[in-house]
A and B are shown apart, each in its own frame.
Chain A
Amino acid sequence: MGIALVAAVLAGGVVRAETIDRVLAVVANQLITQSDVTAAMELGLQSADAAADPVRIVLSKLIDRELVLAEVDRYAPAEPTAEAVDREVLRVRERFRSQAELDAALARSGIDEKHLRETLRQDLRLRAYLDQRFSTAAGRRASLIDEWMTGLRRRGGVVDLYLSDARPR
């Protein structure tokens, strides 16, 4: 078995299938795909810190983001200015050494600059909503948001396909 695996790895011309995309979760009718997770990590939109399973961490954050966005859409907070979105785009751009690198990262995730811009705009709306709703002192704010998020997760109808133990054998 082990020898076979070693042989397979050594064989440069071996035909191997790579999973280049798949559905990882569905939240409020919004799909979260593997390429969304890739984009979030590569573009620095979500951090996985030094987690053993970074996909799990980032996916959970994207699930939470969608749950909050569903709330944001219900209450329509103030629209972020174009300048604020520009600043966020610039911040992402600065993570890359060149525009070509950024373009390559976007291409790997299958999103374009318009999509990126829209994602960042939604992030700003999300932040504005949280600031407006939880405008209390920092310590209390964090616990209130946690409590609120727990409720959202409970009610949110999240289908998490990444958790293999959430599905029957």
Chain B
Amino acid sequence: MRTAGRTLHHGGRGGQEGKSFLLRLILCVLCVLRGGELTSFAAVSDYLGKPIATVRLVIEGRETTEALLTQVVATSAGQPLSMVQVRETVAHLFSLGRFEGVSVDATLENGRVALRYDLVPIHAVARIRFDGPLRAPGIDQGALRRAIVDRYGVSPPLARAADITRILADALGARGYLHPAIVPSAELEHSPERATLVFTIDPGARTAIGTIEIVGEPSVTRPEFLARLGLTTGDPYQREALNARIQKYIEERRSKGYFEARMVSAARLSADERVADLTLTVAPGPRVRVVFTGDALPSDRRTDLVPAEREGSVDEDLLEDSSNRIEEYLRGLGYRDARAPHTRAETDGELVIAFDVNRGQQFKVATYEISGNATLPLTEFESALRLRDGQAFSDSRLDADVQTIEDLYRRRGFAAARVTRAVDIVTPTPPPAEVPVAVRTVISEGPRTTVDAVTFTGQQALSEAALRARAALRVGAPYVPGQLAVDRDAIQLAYQDLGYESASVGARTVFSQSDTHVAVVFEIHEGPQVFVDHVLIVGNVRTTTSTIEHALQVKTGDPFSLSAINESQRRLTALGLFRRARITELRHGGETARDLLVTIEEAPPTTLGYGGGVEIGHVVAAQDGSVAGERLDVAPRAFIEIGRRNVFGKNRSINVFSSVAFHSQESSANVEYRAIGTFREPRVFNTSADAFINATFEQQRRSSFNFSRRSLSADIARKLSRVVSITGTYQIQRTSVFDERLDDADPLKPLIDRLFPQFRLSSFASSLIRDTRDDPVDPLRGEYTSVSAQLAGRAIGSEIGFAKSFLTAQLFRTLPRTNRIVLAASARVGVASGFPREGVDELGNVVQIVALPQSERFYAGGDTTIRGFALDRVGTRHIPAQVNDTLDQDLLPIGGNGLVVFNAELRAPIVGGLGVVGFVDTGNVFSRISEINFMELRTAVGSGVRYKSPFGPIRFDLGFKVNRQPGEGLTAWFISFGQAF
């Protein structure tokens, strides 16, 4: 006997044709004389235990010392040869996913073993080519290629060549080439390793249609019938095309009422299979008409209730089901005695199926009485019941109620609880159309079973305490049969997380005689524990292996835990570095050890994003010497974002985002811009926090001033849980305010605005965020809460000191029993207080300044705060003016240290991506925290339209002021991106 490899090798050479029998005989005799060396076992035995002289890795004849390959080789020079290590090495090398063949050759050299691992690299198929006489009629190379790509993709594995050959043969067979000769071959290229998969095709003779026999009577003449099927003697026999035309013919007939139309084709091939004689068996069936007599049925339900056309049948089973379906439907509407028998009658070649619908009287629930519930009050389950007083009576609803009550009792430990039901007609002489019924359900609670004991048997790897923690059934608690299965699964999962993948857990119960107590026994068969043998990471070019290992929750020697593998997969994906990251298990040899192969396909390192749009909204327009008006501002916008990820292979990233907007309003700052450069350092200082360094250059417009700013900030962000995160920031910035619309002579203009048109701000900030929204852009449910605080002080290099805090609380709920109508509510509260510092006023007096600079104050009004008001146009204003007003006499916003904004919005989808909203916004800006007065809130109501475009929600909002004040317009409208909040 030879080794498998040798057997293949020799067999593949076809017995060495041409050798004489004598030569083979001599060779065999010599082999036997050499002590049976050609037996495989003897061959392996010759090498086992002998010291290894050399270990070579050879890829297609070229020796390699690539570290990734050498590090997985378990056999090393100097050690005695062990097949265990050989097997392990073969498995590891193959597991890398780079080789389609791995074989190990051994040679004896002076009593030592020279090992050679021959590696055949996978040659990815880069091209598929068809050779041969393919210009024959009916052969479409594109269709052949599609047949392959549809099944195996654009780069099919070479090992699938035989399967692909069969697919091609089928495709050619469908075109009438029933016996094509297809020979696959591969043209290999090296550096890079790739292949062209070549199929040399000789389609052979095409089978033609011979005689055509029609059995049965088609509805049209023979020539017309054959024309509709596209059949002519001598044409190529194309099986699938013929079947498609037959199907089309049948569907046409059914649409005309011939529900039972049938046709089958059979081909009889000649001896050389060049001619196919066809037999078409046609059963046209009668024309069928379905009619409904008696009580009316809604027309839109009839085809569902009697699906004769859809099923292509009017057999008795279907009709009986249809009668039952009609009766069930009517019983659901309260027609308890509904009947809908059917009859069939054939006249003049037409089959008439008649359903005689007799609804009978409608039963309505007059009273619904539930009794026997001594332990559980009615309020515990009443809301879950489906039957209600005054509703149409339905047996199925009553059955559902019975089930609901019994389930509830079982969940409370009443395993034997039963509910009996009775339905009585209230009046013996009911009116003909409507019958009131009294429904009674009587609950027999039975004994309440409590758990006396929970024990475990067969456990070794997990302690009893650990198992007990997994089980919800506890001593003294009510016994819930359903919980038993849940606990059993939880225990099994605990074992699987420890690598006991074949662990089985059984659950047994022993009830007391009165069924009031139960002992629960979990019987555990742990089975063998499976461990991770090796973790092999392949495909990473730019990303360091340590970055990937950090995301993995399993390492060599760990139990083979599916949960840990799934979490690893999630974390790898969350890195955002890879186009694809896949973890597959590889079994080899020892069935209690698995390799994990992490296959990485890196994403392009550079990302580029850009876009543009137009934002339209109402803004404040200052007018010399008179009250500021409002004007429509049309602002084309554009942005570009360039990112470089995985810098230095450590998942660091650099992003530059810049945006620009051009405003129609004339000012020296018609152009708004912002450029932000961000460097991200993940897991800074080896913690779970990410660090960011941001540099920002911007010029922005507000209603009563414009400003430019340069800032540098360092952030640390950390997720405390899946939904809670915290950030800390230090920021230093330089702000220049210009184009001030508030006159210096305005008595309401804060002194700080005159003294600090430019200032340096140095601040620390922190925020805590809890976000349970299902979608941050357009949530259907969830909450978002954030609290942030900022502290700027001269002690840390700021020219102005203040403390500022902002609270946001938002809630999103899909209203029950609606077509995904969402109620969205938001509350935003901002408070700030300046630290006093001395300044000199215009009269030369030294004064205390406590206000914040205008670019740091709060403002409200506009598309994201209070719609119905132009941007920043909300504030307090009194006549005569007061020092705490936040709008000046010309209605120009001054801003304030206190902000309150509340919003409520109903978001209703209509059709496609289109939806409408109705909203109420209220809030105001106050000069100081102590001035916040909820009686002075400004309110707007309105509605809007939303369109879910591929780029995100686009919205139009029209808001109306409530209690508008002199000088204010009634409305404001906005077109912008995203939701208002």
Contact = CB atoms under 8 A, between A and B. Distances in A.
Given A2-B23, A10-B30, A22 B528 contact: no
B186 A33 contact: no
A16 interface: yes
B83 A33 contact: no
A12 B37 CA distance: 11
Interface stretch (B419-427, B583-591, B768-776): B583-591
B197 A118 contact: no
Contacts of B34: 9, 12
A61 to B, nearest CB: 14
Given A2-B19, A6-B30, A53 B589 contact: no
B688 interface: no
Contacts of A104: 45
With most chain A CB atoms within 10 A of its CB, the pick from B83, B85, B157, B158 is B83
A161 B101 contact: yes
Nearest to B500: A79
A111 B84 contact: yes
B12 A108 contact: no
B205 interface: no
A59 interface: yes
Contacts of A166: 159, 161-162
A111 B3 contact: no
A110 interface: yes
B652 interface: no
A20 B592 contact: no
Given A37-B4, A76-B502, A115-B589, A20 B159 contact: no
B587 A29 contact: yes
Interface string B148-191: 00000000011101100000000000000000000111100000
Contacts of B101: 22-23, 161
B91 interface: yes
A168 B158 contact: yes
B683 to A, nearest CB: 32
Nearest to B40: A38
A154 B1 CA distance: 32
A33 B104 CA distance: 11
A167 B161 contact: yes
A21 B90 contact: yes
B612 interface: no
B348 interface: no
Q: What size tier do the contact residues of chain A reach?
A: 35 or more
A165 interface: yes
B264 interface: no
Given A23-B94, A166-B161, A118 B591 contact: yes
Contact of B20 (A2, A18, A159): A2
Contact of B504 (A2, A26, A78): A78
Contacts of A167: 158-159, 161-162
Contacts of A109: 83
Contacts of B69: none
Interface in A21-37: 21-24, 26, 29-31, 33-37
Nearest to A165: B162
Contacts of A162: 4, 8
Contacts of B26: 6
Interface in B197-254: 197-198
B528 A159 contact: no
B87 interface: yes
Given A31-B586, A79-B525, A166-B161, A5 B4 contact: no
B100 A161 contact: yes
Contacts of A131: none
Interface in B471-514: 501-504
A119 B94 contact: no
A115 B86 contact: no
A144 interface: no
Contacts, number: 189
B707 to A, nearest CB: 61
Contacts of A35: 83, 86-87
A38 B591 contact: no
Interface stretch (B105-113, B552-560, B736-744): B105-113
Contacts of B527: 79
Contacts of A160: 159
A18 B6 contact: yes
Nearest to B31: A9
Contacts of B95: 31
A107 interface: yes
B48 interface: yes
Contacts of B1: 54
A17 interface: yes
Task: Name B's interface SS.
Answer: mixed
Contact of A17 (B19, B40, B106, B184): B106
With most chain B CB atoms within 10 A of its CB, the pick from A54, A112, A115, A160 is A115
A98 interface: no
A118 B528 CA distance: 8
A38 B105 contact: no
Interface in B70-89: 82-87
Interface in B1-48: 1, 3-9, 11-12, 19-20, 23, 26-27, 30-31, 34, 40-41, 43-48
A29 B599 CA distance: 14
Nearest to B530: A118
B107 A16 contact: yes
A136 to B, nearest CB: 25
B104 A15 contact: no
Contacts of B726: none
B103 interface: yes
A79 B504 contact: yes
A164 B5 CA distance: 12
B102 A110 contact: no
A3 B745 CA distance: 118
A107 B109 contact: no
Nearest to B44: A108
A124 to B, nearest CB: 11
A159 B159 contact: yes
A55 B48 CA distance: 22
Given A6-B30, A9-B31, A19 B6 contact: yes
A19 B502 CA distance: 35
With most chain B CB atoms within 10 A of its CB, the pick from A19, A24, A34, A76 is A19
Given A119-B591, A122-B591, A166-B162, A34 B3 contact: yes
B116 interface: yes
Contacts of B588: 30-31, 33
B106 A114 contact: no
A88 interface: no
Interface string A97-134: 00000001101111110110011011001000000000
B590 A6 contact: no
Contacts of B104: 19-22
B90 A31 contact: yes
A167 B7 CA distance: 17
A31 B72 CA distance: 16
A40 to B, nearest CB: 11
B580 to A, nearest CB: 17
A42 interface: yes
Given A2-B20, A29-B587, A73-B501, A19 B83 contact: no
B590 A20 contact: no
A159 B101 CA distance: 11
Given A59-B4, A73-B502, 7 more contacts: A22-B104, A23-B103, A29-B586, A30-B587, A79-B502, A119-B591, A169-B185
18 contacts: A6-B26, A6-B27, A20-B83, A20-B86, A21-B5, A21-B104, A31-B90, A53-B11, A54-B1, A55-B8, A104-B45, A115-B589, A118-B592, A160-B159, A162-B4, A168-B185, A169-B184, A169-B185
Interface of A: 2, 5-6, 9-10, 12, 15-24, 26, 29-31, 33-38, 42, 53-55, 59, 73, 76, 78-79, 104-105, 107-112, 114-115, 118-119, 121-122, 125, 159-169
Instruction: Return the 4 tightest CB-CB contacts between A and B, nearest first.
Output: A110-B83, A19-B5, A22-B103, A79-B525
